[in-house]
Amino acid sequence: MPELPEVETVRRGLAPYLVGARLAQVEQRRPDLRFPLPDRFVQRLTGATVMSLERRAKYLRAALDTGETLVCHLGMTGRFLVEDEAPGRFVRSAGDDPKHTHVVLRTQAGVTVSFNDARRFGYMELIGAQVLERHPWFAGLGPEPLGPDFGPQALADAFAGRRQSIKATLLDQRVVAGLGNIYVCEALHRAAIHPERPAGQVSAPRLGRLAREIVATLEEAIAAGGSTLRDYRDAQGSLGYFQHAFKVYGREDAACVRPACRGVVRRMVQSGRSSFYCASCQK
């Protein structure tokens, strides 16, 4: 499933084409994705202007001048792809099997944005702006790891007294919004913290290092266009490249890349998810 860097990369790819654009035509090719599409979906979107496009956790949120927000989740295989018909601009064909293209947005400027999702685990909703933050998808979310409310103190407050493993705690969206399995594994290795360590037993200096490594890992991943393991593409159809910089994720039995460490990357299962770590340098 795309994680925060992948969703942020998609947002940055879509923003130049959608922000300020009027949706001149909307095409809905099926009644549902993972969940049913909103009532009167086409009518409510057609003619609307996109005022802003933001990411919250793993969601994309397009604020409309109608007072509603189009909320989108990519699910496992969802992709937004752009075709720009404006003169003098680069044109990229969507390229995916059209039978899996379920929603098409065409702007007044001649840009086509298609949502293609082979497995249909993605979903969309239209939510009133005044109730957006109270919606169940957003009401309980923790701070954004790249936002001003995140840092060592936020982790210390969330971890206080917790016996749950630090890996499971970081995956709790109420603690930090948007973190997923890949980037938690990578950040814990960079911070030299074992994924099974109880969250409440991490010292303040190590929490400071962890907070820095979470931010650095995410920023590096975004700069690399995210990670492509199976299906992920950005809005222009390009692959992500951060997977080539993984230090532990997916590297079971490989040598640890930390200088002077002679350890080997191991894999274990925590709460049904694979954790990759070095038992020698992560304590």
Sheet holding 23-28, edge to edge: 23-28, 101-107, 111-117, 78-84
Report the pLDDT averaged over residues 27-38: 97
**Three-state SS for 135?**
coil
Q: How confident is the model at residue 2 (pLDDT cuts 50, 70, 90)?
A: confident
- For the stretch 162-189, pLDDT in tens is 999 999 999 999 999 999 999 999 999 9
Q: Where in the chain is the domain with CATH 3.20.190.10?
A: 4-134
Q: Which of 3, 68, 83, 186 is catalytic?
A: 3
**Mean pLDDT, rounded, of the chain:** 90
The candidate with the shortest Cα–Cα distance to 156, out of 175, 141, 184, is 175
Q: Where in the chain is the domain with CATH 1.10.8.50?
A: 152-278
Q: How confident is the model at residue 242 (pLDDT cuts 50, 70, 90)?
A: low
The answer to whether 252 touches 265, Cβ cutoff 8 Å, is yes
Q: Which of 11, 55, 58, 206 is catalytic?
A: 58
Contacts of 128 (CB under 8 A, 6+ apart): 67, 68, 69
User: Taking each helix axis from N to C terminus, what angle separates 4-18 and 204-223, rounded to the nearest 10 degrees?
Assistant: 40
When comparing pLDDT for 226 and 208, which is higher?
208
- For the stretch 49-105, pLDDT in tens is 999 999 999 999 999 999 999 999 999 889 998 987 554 443 344 456 788 999 999
Question: How confident is the model at residue 233, as a pLDDT?
Answer: 47
Q: Which of 2, 5, 145, 195 is catalytic?
A: 2
Report the pLDDT averaged over residues 21-35: 97
Report the pLDDT averaged over residues 238-244: 55
Question: How confident is the model at residue 91, as a pLDDT?
Answer: 36
Q: Is 209 a catalytic residue?
A: no
Q: Is 273 a catalytic residue?
A: yes
How far is it, in rounded angstroms, from Cα 19 to Cα 136?
26
How far is it, in rounded angstroms, from Cα 71 to Cα 253?
40
Q: Return the CATH number of the domain spanning residue range 4-134.
A: 3.20.190.10
Domain 152-278 has CATH 2.40.50.100: no
